[in-house]
């Protein structure tokens, strides 16, 4: 007797005893996929000093980081001079062409150190060139070697500087590249990006532009993320995906960064027409710009990631025809299991439209097959707004409650040990979603809720396509995958394997796309904006509703996209998620306590007015910590006397006057032609300072144009408490800075000179910080400002 014909695959039914097993298998697969995704978001294993010469070794690079971050070294300091000498020696020992660009650089971007004035700095950039054999352009590897005034910069940016020294060693060990490779170790990045601007605008090697790879850090650990590109980045992204040892980046990060008022040295190169990529590791941000940013805090894995990527990219760009890199538009790209997936940005709108149409088709087919009704679809779509709104709001309220319990968090970018708080936010989002689903599943139906969730994903995808095109994939692709899976499931037997596989595959797509985003959003935005990560966690949950429904029966005869009916969905999952939220939160509060190694941050500066000998303690803390409250009492401070501090919102407290000299302002020339007066002045600090400033009163003078240290600057700036045009000069030379003002004035001109040094120890009335009290990462922390008025 001949064997019976096999049934078509899509009609094979799951036997009752295998139903729950199939659902569990899908869940286990997705959990394993999520775990694998998380593993790809970790930094690589650092290589030892015995690694082959042609490879990047974090151990070899770390030896340089220890030298660079031996002590605090802001631009203009003696310690910075020592770091520069080390860099020059090391690069010359490799046989590179080394020079120091010593000049005055103007500001790029807008940093908090600008103090509401036209900002410049005396800079000393270290520039080394590895000549190419047949150049089609130049590749610039960039990091800054200066630190902030309160910390040694072990991560920001000794890590980048040390990585470039090790990359230079590895490149010189192999064959010469086709293109010139130029190492640019910039000065005064922390002050004003002035070193990068001076190089990009004025250095002969930069005259024809090129490709820039900038290395940065905003923390102490985590994977290195390529978070910013130049425009028309498709070719650059292709090279990054193929040549970086561990490519991790997303076009969503690029879009968000373009909208934010943040800057690095990369800004100066973009402003001057360069192409390139900007990379940084960003977790562990609690130590950013603080005394805790030491070489010891540097994660060797993050250093390995930085250097291995930079070396691979330098080699690839070193042999690439650089004249072809500006072809094409922006790419959409994202990480998938350690690789970079990309597609042309031109596909953004077609994919968004296709996703919306496919979701609509799914709703129509589900209604036609009797899986739901139009009224249920409308209810499912409208009610999906509840978790989309409630989860982000709840996450923000959760953080507000945590800050109320632990006020020191208010001035931190992120807690010292934030993992438990991050898990609490995800668990809270899951709790809200599961409660919502449990309450509405019986009334509205699983199919209507699933399709409603996909509808919102499609609409959010359209919004992202309009606002941040590089981030549209985060909603568009999950919506499209979910809708296609739903269509497949509806065309197959409800109890068949095909439907299970379809919805599992769609959820896998969403998981691969959104898990990296959720993980990276936390360190990128900090717990202060944890609601953004909560929103994406809800989007992931909405896309996964059909898989969740596999484990439970469709209530009251309503059927889902896939109908496995073994047990009822009760409050158990929501209860588990809620208990997890409480457990994670409690653990976070227990684990992340302030102590000597993890101090509560405080902010304090000292301001002395030599006109009348008055002095004030000043702090930007809105609710001063107990130590800060010993110095400030919340009283007002004479902001009009210190325009060099910019528009800082500060609280004051009385202080004893220190015997510190104010900067000296000398008139070198004073001429008048008609109603235009020209003043040539010398602004000369009388002590060792980090910066000096000069502001002109708006009372009776209007500055037409000005020249500072030979460089023309804009004649107007944003007024600050009655002061108009201002100059801020970082790392001033001992002989002072020459300033020429061309102005119209009705009578004598009033000018306010200020300079600022660092370090409060030794000031009268200063009470040293006890163990467990630290310093806020700020350009004004620990500042000693001395000001004087001149009338000319």
Same domain (yes/no): 538, 668: no
One domain, residues 565 and 602? no
Residue 261: per-residue pLDDT: 65
What's the structural domain count of the chain? 3
| DSSP-H helix ranges across 230-347 | 234-243, 251-259, 265-271, 300-319
List, for residues 511-543, the tens digit of each pLDDT value: 999 999 999 999 999 999 999 999 999 999 999
Q: Which two tokens stand for residue 204?
A: 């002969």
Q: Are 272 and 405 in a shared domain?
A: no
CB burial of residue 44 (10 Å; 0-12, 13-18, 19+): middle
Residue 52 located in a structural domain = no
Are 489 and 534 part of one and the same domain? yes
Q: Looking at the structure, do residues 205 and 62 belong to the same domain, yes or no?
A: yes
Domain boundary among 576, 591, 606: 591
44 located within any domain: no
pLDDT (0 to 100) of residue 723? 83
Check residue 262 and give its pLDDT.
Answer: 75
Asked whether residue 46 is domain-assigned, the answer is no
Report whether 446 contacts 549 (CB < 8 A).
yes
Considering the domain architecture, whether residues 602 and 585 belong to the same structural domain is answered as no
Stated as kind and residue range, the H or E segment containing 519 is helix 497-525
- Establish if 388 belongs to a structural domain: yes
Alpha helices in 174-299 (DSSP H): 189-192, 194-202, 234-243, 251-259, 265-271
Look up residue 36 and give its two tokens.
Answer: 């694998």
Residues 663 and 789 in one domain: yes
Q: Does residue 50 lie in a domain region? A: no
335 part of a folded domain: no
Instruction: Give every residue of the chain whose pLDDT is below 70, as ranges.
Output: 1-20, 110-116, 260-261, 327, 493-496, 550-570, 715-721
So what's the pLDDT on residue 20?
64
At residue 111, the pLDDT reads 57
Whose structure tokens read 């902001």? 639
pLDDT at residue 494, as a whole number: 55
Of the three residues 526, 561, 591, the one that is the final residue of a domain is 591
Please check whether residues 323 and 410 belong to one and the same domain. no
- Verify that 202 and 117 share a domain, yes or no: yes
| End-of-domain residue from the set 532, 557, 591 | 591
The whole domain housing 137 covers: 58-329
Q: Does 582 lie in the same domain as 447? A: yes
In this structure, the answer to whether residues 240 and 361 fall within a common structural domain is no
Report which of 78, 173, 69, 181 is spatially closest to residue 127, judged by C-alpha positions.
181
Q: Residue 9: its pLDDT value, please?
A: 34
- Looking up residue 207, the CATH number of its domain turns out to be 3.40.630.10
So what's the pLDDT on residue 604?
96
Domain assignment of residue 48, yes or no: no
Alpha-carbon dihedral of residues 660, 663, 666, 670, nearest 10 degrees? -140
Residue 54 is predicted with a pLDDT of 95
Cis, peptide link before residue 775, omega less than 30° from 0: no
The pLDDT of residue 114 is 44
Same domain as 604, residue 584: no
In a domain, 195, yes or no: yes
Alpha carbon distance 644, 685 (integer Å): 14
DSSP one-letter string for 400-433: HHHHHHSGGGGG-SS-SS-HHHHHHHHHHHHHHH
């Amino acid at each position: 007797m001949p064997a019976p014909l096999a049934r078509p695959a899509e009609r094979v039914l799951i036997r009752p005893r295998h139903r729950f097993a199939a659902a569990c298998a899908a869940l286990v697969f997705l959990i394993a996929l999520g775990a694998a995704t998380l593993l790809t978001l970790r930094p690589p294993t650092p290589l030892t000093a015995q690694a082959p010469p042609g490879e990047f070794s974090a151990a070899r690079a770390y030896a340089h980081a220890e030298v660079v971050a031996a002590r605090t070294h802001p631009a203009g300091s003696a310690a910075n001079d020592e770091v520069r000498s080390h860099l020059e020696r090391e690069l010359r020992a490799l046989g590179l062409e080394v020079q120091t660009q010593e000049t005055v650089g103007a500001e790029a971007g807008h940093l908090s150190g600008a103090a509401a004035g036209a900002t410049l700095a005396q800079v000393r950039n270290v520039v080394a060139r590895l000549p190419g054999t047949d150049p089609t352009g130049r590749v610039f590897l960039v990091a800054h070697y200066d630190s902030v005034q309160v910390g040694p910069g072990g991560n920001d940016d000794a890590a980048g500087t040390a990585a470039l020294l090790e990359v230079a060693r590895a490149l010189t060990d192999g064959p010469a590249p086709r293109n010139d490779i130029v190492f640019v170790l910039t000065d005064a990045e922390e002050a004003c990006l002035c070193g990068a601007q001076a190089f990009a605008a004025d250095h002969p090697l930069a005259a024809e532009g090129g490709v820039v790879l900038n290395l940065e850090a905003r923390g102490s650990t985590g994977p290195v993320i390529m978070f910013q590109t130049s425009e028309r980045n498709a070719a650059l992204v292709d090279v990054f995906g193929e040549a970086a040892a561990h490519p991790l980046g997303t076009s969503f990060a690029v879009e968000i960064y373009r909208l934010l008022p943040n800057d690095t040295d990369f800004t100066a190169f973009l402003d001057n027409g360069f192409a390139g990529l900007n990379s940084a590791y960003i977790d562990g941000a609690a130590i950013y710009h603080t005394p805790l940013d030491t070489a010891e805090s540097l994660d060797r894995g993050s250093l390995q990631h930085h250097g291995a990527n930079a070396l691979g990219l330098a080699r690839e760009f070193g042999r690439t025809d650089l004249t072809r890199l500006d072809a094409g538009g922006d790419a959409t790209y994202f990480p998938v299991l350690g690789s970079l997936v990309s597609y042309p940005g031109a596909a953004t709108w077609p994919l968004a439209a296709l996703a919306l149409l496919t979701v609509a088709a799914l709703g129509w087919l589900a209604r036609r097959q009797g899986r739901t009704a139009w009224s249920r679809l409308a209810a499912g779509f409208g009610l999906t707004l509840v978790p989309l709104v409630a989860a982000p709001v709840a996450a923000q309220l959760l953080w507000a409650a945590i800050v109320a319990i632990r006020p020191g968090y208010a001035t931190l970018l992120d807690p010292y040990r934030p993992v438990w708080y991050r898990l609490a936010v995800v668990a809270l989002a899951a709790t809200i979603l599961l409660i919502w689903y449990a309450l509405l599943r019986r009334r509205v139906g699983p199919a209507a809720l699933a399709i409603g969730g996909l509808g919102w994903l499609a609409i959010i995808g359209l919004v992202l396509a309009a606002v941040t095109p590089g981030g549209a994939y985060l909603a568009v692709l999950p919506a499209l995958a979910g809708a296609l899976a739903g269509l497949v499931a509806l065309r197959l037997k409800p109890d068949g394997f095909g439907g299970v596989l379809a919805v599992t595959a769609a959820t896998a797509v969403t998981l691969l796309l959104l898990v990296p985003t959720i993980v990276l959003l936390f360190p990128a935005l900090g717990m202060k904006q944890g609601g953004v990560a909560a929103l994406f966690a809800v989007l992931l949950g909405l896309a996964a509703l059909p898989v969740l429904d596999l484990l439970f029966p469709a209530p009251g005869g309503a059927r889902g996209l896939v109908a496995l009916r073994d047990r009822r969905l009760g409050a158990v999952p929501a209860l588990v998620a809620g208990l997890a939220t409480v457990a994670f939160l409690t653990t976070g509060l227990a684990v992340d306590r302030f102590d000597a190694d993890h101090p509560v941050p405080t902010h304090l500066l000292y301001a002395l007015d030599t006109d009348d000998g008055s002095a004030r303690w000043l702090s930007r803390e809105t609710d001063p910590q107990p130590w800060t409250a010993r110095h400030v009492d919340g009283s007002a401070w004479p902001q009009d006397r210190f325009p060099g501090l910019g528009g800082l919102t500060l609280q004051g407290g009385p202080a004893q006057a220190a015997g510190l000299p104010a900067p000296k302002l000398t008139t070198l020339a004073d001429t008048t032609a008609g109603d235009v007066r020209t003043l040539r002045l010398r602004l000369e600090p009388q002590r060792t300072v980090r910066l000096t400033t000069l502001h002109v009163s708006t009372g009776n003078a209007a500055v037409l144009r000005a020249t500072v240290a030979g460089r023309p600057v804009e004649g107007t700036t944003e007024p600050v408490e009655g002061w108009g045009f201002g100059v801020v000069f970082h790392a001033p030379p001992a002989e002072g800075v020459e300033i020429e003002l061309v102005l119209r004035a009705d009578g004598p001109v009033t000018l306010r000179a200020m300079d600022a040094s660092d370090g409060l120890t030794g000031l009268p009335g200063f009470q040293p910080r006890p163990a467990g009290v630290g310093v806020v990462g700020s350009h004004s922390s620990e500042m000693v400002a001395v000001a004087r008025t001149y009338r000319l």
